[in-house]
Chain A
Amino acid sequence: MLKKEQLEELLTLCMRSEADFAEIFEEDTNKESISMLNQVVEGVDRSQSSGVGIRLYKGVQSVYGYTDIEDMDSLKNVIADLVDALGPKDEGVKVQLKEEKIEDKHPIRIDPLASPLQEKVDLLMEGSQAAYEASEKVEKVSASLASVHQKVQISNSNGRLVQDDRHRVRMAISSYVSDGKTLQSGACSPGGSMGLEFFETTSPSSIGKEATRIALVLSQAKPCPSGKMPVIIDNGFGGVIFHEACGHSLEATAVAKNQSVFANKLGEQIANEKVTAIDDGTIPNAWGSQNIDDEGNPQQRRVLIDHGILKSYMIDTLNGRRMGMASSGSSRRQSYKYEPTSRMSNTYIAPGTDTLEDMLKGIERGLYAKKMGGGSVNPQTGEFNFAVQEGYMIENGKITDPVKGASLIGTGQEILMNIDMVGDNLERAQGMCGSISGSIPTDVGQPRLRVKEITVGGTANE
């Protein structure tokens, strides 16, 4: 990491331009990935990535340069390109930095990258074996353990100098079962902003067993029927529905340029009154948490929708300028190779009071989506899709046969209004979210909820 005096020199150079703001993001990241197939270690890979991203604003224009060649001359060359793009000036403010100490709200106990390889291999073996032993039908198990340690230092022309230290671990297990003819797979991949102590509360064997359980259900599943029907979406990763259908459309990236169906709707009812949605980057040791965002602003808890009323967006500084609003501490990026922008952190729908019995009552034909896969959205049109990983039919108020190959599609505007029941079993689950500033860890979450009508895409038409 660069010294305070070096940063002051570079930032002062940046400000000898038409820029009204300059920022330097430094990163030093170490990653390790261990992979296993059928209880045999297949790969152990490590990477070290460190570099610098320099950003200048002039009003709502931004210029950004990044490099991993970290000597002062190379960095000055990057700055010269950026200054040239905005327009140079003979004079500018002399930047003086004041170091801020931040409290670490996500401390870890067992540093995964510093732990012996064998300890991590043992954890993977435990998960892998549990997946195998869960059924005689299991033919293959693949497992991986990823550990990441990212150190960042952020400084800017307003005098801010702040550092953060971020750790995370994640174990992913896929179990493959055979019905004699074809394979079916099930996967489970929890993680947290934690060290190896994560596996003291989420045991590797529970991850392996869950992967096999899903694969077994799928191997017995029938093709899913098509058409509009009521859908009950269970808790945890079911929250991907909010993430895709609405979350991305509430990011300033889409809102600032009027490219979201929810632009200019603050204070309006955009969801059923049972829906309260929150994006909270402060949850201790959660997968999508940080002490500070990637512009150095403290992470926050943001109430996006309160009982159906749109209360706030997720805003980064640059888009905030366009919107005439302050940053909400939502600026994130995969690494210094990306300019940051507004992103989600841990996003979830708050718990309600409806029970599963109430939800099932009156449904003649519907879908119970127990586990969701991923999805995507076009914020401009609001059209979204997401995959059902584990689903069951609902017939005459009862959950019946498992079904496979289903996806749910619709528009964000419609589905928010169509959520008519919200349960009390809030749970969060982990995902990687991809957008213009790269792939970042985010939690999705919700209690069980019911959508009174949504298009289910299946294959059983005849």
Chain B
Amino acid sequence: MNKQAWIEKAKELGLESFEIYQSLSASKEMTWYEHAMDTFVTSKILGTSLRGIVDGNVAMIALEQVDDSKMDSVLKQLVDQAKTIQTPEKVVFATPKPLEEKAVSSRQWVQPSMQQVEKTMDKIEEKCLAYDPRIVQVGYLGYEEGKGAREITNSLGLHLEDEDQVQYLVCSIVALENGVYKDATKVEVVENFDTFDIDAFVKEVCQEALDQLGARSIPSTTCPIILEKDAMSSLFGAFAGLFSGDLIAKGISPIAKDLGKKIFSEQVSVIDDPRDPNALSIANFDDEGVLTKRKVLVDHGVFEQALYDIKSAIKMNTESTGNGFKSGYASPVSVQPMNLSIVPGEKDLDGLMEQMQNGLVITDLMGLHAGIHFVSTQFSLQASGYRVKDGKRSEPVTLITIAGTFLDLMNHVVAIGNDMDWTYKQVVCPSILFEKCAVSGE
């Protein structure tokens, strides 16, 4: 692609500013089943997204086949699209700014050979099946590695590029007892296969499935609950849109008018930091070329800062926070958190259970795409976990729902745990003990 020629042609056709975003990604994936390779997938994708501005309005065309000879027709189409948009805000693309301190990931990736991956997966399968007679199947065992490079160039002289990498294992275990199946899945980011602790991995995933055997529903009640870190991260992730400057500008976010006000319990502080070196992915700039930064969104319960991309920042008369990201090169830019977390507290999970004495620990939430109503923050979600009696773990529980209003729940925090870890997620929380929650069951 002759980028300079595209930029010049864009100017000639009346685009005020023009941006070229490109991503090149390559991945390899292997799954293992019954001591043999089950599937193998390899890919290489080059994607290009073009954005142009006419009269302050931005339109986008994403392409997988860029043909310089079709420059004229593609750009005319882009002009046509931009002219159809009628928003009053006048968008301007990012101009080059010096990066004062470059954030660097703490990850030390050592790429394994496929033979090493096969050997590791075979061992995992064997050890899982030998772990306990009630483990009847390793239902899914897979490895995936991916590398990506992105490049942003615009007509205002901006040119940025970076690279990203990831490699991880996924394992799903099936346990059977008295004719009832239970399963558990674990995703583990593996920086180096030479130092990967297979036994610890096997123990964790197998134990999770075994612990759910014999789980039953309980009668409906309202009681104290602990949302264990993964369940808490899922629920918080589903409401991450609360902080979206776009939804705030549109008046759709339930906290749209609450800047500077207390929205959560004073124990809760929330941070968004795309530059956190401990997170799985880091970014020094967003997908519009705006430099990223650490932001305290909620400080001891008070809503201090929202997230913005360029367009929503203009709507709200402020500056982009560097949170304009794409879900893929072909997606439009939208406001998204990157490495969003609730600041951990003091106690570990056992300490939280001790404090709660009697109640429920929820380890898993399902149906998050359907069971939440964003504008009212109501949720009603299928859940599983275990009972806590006299501060100690008791019998497993399944086929219940927990329901309530997220903003109300976050105002009834009793204690925040210290067990947060970044794993593979971009929204993470420690376990949190709540005063009460409605639980539905038998």
Give which listed residue, A66, A176, A337, contacts B252 with CB less than 8 A.
A176
Does B39 contact A62, Cβ atoms closer than 8 Å?
yes
Does A387 contact B441, Cβ atoms closer than 8 Å?
no
Please measure, in the bound complex, the distance between the C-alpha atom of A118 and the C-alpha atom of B84, giving whole angstroms: 8
- CB of A197 within 8 Å of the partner chain: no
Given known A-B contacts A43-B85, A44-B85, A37 and B59 have beta carbons under 8 A apart? no
The stretch that binds B, out of A271-279, A402-410, A417-425, is A402-410
The stretch that binds A, out of B75-83, B148-156, B236-244, is B75-83
Please measure, in the bound complex, the distance between the C-alpha atom of A228 and the C-alpha atom of B251, giving whole angstroms: 37
Per-residue B-contact encoding for A118-142, CB less than 8 Å = 1, 0 else: 1001000000000000000001101
Chain B positions within 8 Å of A257 at CB level: 33, 137, 139
Question: Total A-B pairs in contact (CB under 8 Å)?
Answer: 244
Give which listed residue, B46, B86, B251, B371, contacts A68 with CB less than 8 A.
B46
Chain A positions within 8 Å of B80 at CB level: 117
- CB of B440 within 8 Å of the partner chain: yes
Q: Which of A420-462 contact B (CB under 8 A)?
A: 455-462
- CB of A200 within 8 Å of the partner chain: no
Chain A positions within 8 Å of B174 at CB level: 259, 380
- CB of B109 within 8 Å of the partner chain: no
- CB of A267 within 8 Å of the partner chain: no
B362 to chain A, nearest CB (A): 13
Does B401 contact A121, Cβ atoms closer than 8 Å?
no
Please measure, in the bound complex, the distance between the C-alpha atom of A456 and the C-alpha atom of B441, giving whole angstroms: 8
Does B82 contact A69, Cβ atoms closer than 8 Å?
no
Chain B positions within 8 Å of A185 at CB level: 373-376
Given known A-B contacts A44-B85, A117-B81, A182 and B376 have beta carbons under 8 A apart? yes
Per-residue B-contact encoding for A226-244, CB less than 8 Å = 1, 0 else: 1110000000000000000
Given known A-B contacts A46-B81, A64-B40, A51 and B87 have beta carbons under 8 A apart? no
- CB of A373 within 8 Å of the partner chain: yes
A395 to chain B, nearest CB (A): 18
B358 to chain A, nearest CB (A): 16
B33 to chain A, nearest CB (A): 7
B151 to chain A, nearest CB (A): 16
Does B82 contact A44, Cβ atoms closer than 8 Å?
yes
Chain B, Cβ-Cβ closest to A44: B81
Give which listed residue, A42, A378, A387, contacts B183 with CB less than 8 A.
A378
A334 to chain B, nearest CB (A): 12
The stretch that binds A, out of B61-69, B197-205, B285-293, B301-309, is B61-69
- CB of B355 within 8 Å of the partner chain: no
**How many of A's residues come within 8 Å of B, CB to CB?**
80
Does B181 contact A48, Cβ atoms closer than 8 Å?
no
- CB of A329 within 8 Å of the partner chain: no
- CB of A115 within 8 Å of the partner chain: no
Does B380 contact A381, Cβ atoms closer than 8 Å?
no
The stretch that binds B, out of A78-86, A290-298, A306-314, is A78-86
B125 to chain A, nearest CB (A): 13
Does B46 contact A405, Cβ atoms closer than 8 Å?
no
Majority DSSP secondary structure for residues of B touching A = strand
Please measure, in the bound complex, the distance between the C-alpha atom of A184 and the C-alpha atom of B374, giving whole angstroms: 9
Give which listed residue, B39, B366, B403, contacts A458 with CB less than 8 A.
B403
A269 to chain B, nearest CB (A): 17
Please measure, in the bound complex, the distance between the C-alpha atom of A117 and the C-alpha atom of B83, giving whole angstroms: 10
Chain B positions within 8 Å of A228 at CB level: 442
- CB of B411 within 8 Å of the partner chain: no
Does B369 contact A140, Cβ atoms closer than 8 Å?
no
- CB of A374 within 8 Å of the partner chain: yes
Chain A positions within 8 Å of B60 at CB level: 43, 45-46
- CB of B44 within 8 Å of the partner chain: yes
Please measure, in the bound complex, the distance between the C-alpha atom of A218 and the C-alpha atom of B222, giving whole angstroms: 24
Residue of A44, A82, A142, A460 contacting most chain B CB atoms (<10 Å):
A44
Given known A-B contacts A183-B375, A227-B220, A409-B399, A374 and B370 have beta carbons under 8 A apart? yes
Does A407 contact B222, Cβ atoms closer than 8 Å?
no
Give which listed residue, A33, A44, A47, A459, contacts B84 with CB less than 8 A.
A44
Task: Knowing that A48-B64, A259-B139 touch, tell me 17 more A-B residue pairs with CB under 8 angstroms.
Answer: A34-B84, A44-B81, A48-B61, A51-B45, A63-B40, A68-B46, A85-B37, A184-B376, A227-B220, A228-B442, A385-B371, A385-B401, A386-B367, A407-B370, A455-B440, A455-B441, A459-B378
Question: Could you jot down 14 A-B contacts, CB within 8 Å?
Answer: A43-B332, A46-B62, A47-B61, A47-B330, A62-B40, A63-B40, A63-B41, A140-B251, A185-B376, A227-B442, A384-B382, A385-B371, A386-B370, A459-B405
Q: List the interface of chain A (C-beta within 8 A of B).
A: 33-34, 37, 40-51, 60-70, 74, 78, 81-82, 85, 117-118, 121, 139-140, 142, 176, 182-185, 218, 224, 226-228, 257-259, 261, 337, 339, 373-376, 378, 380-381, 383-387, 404-407, 409-411, 455-462
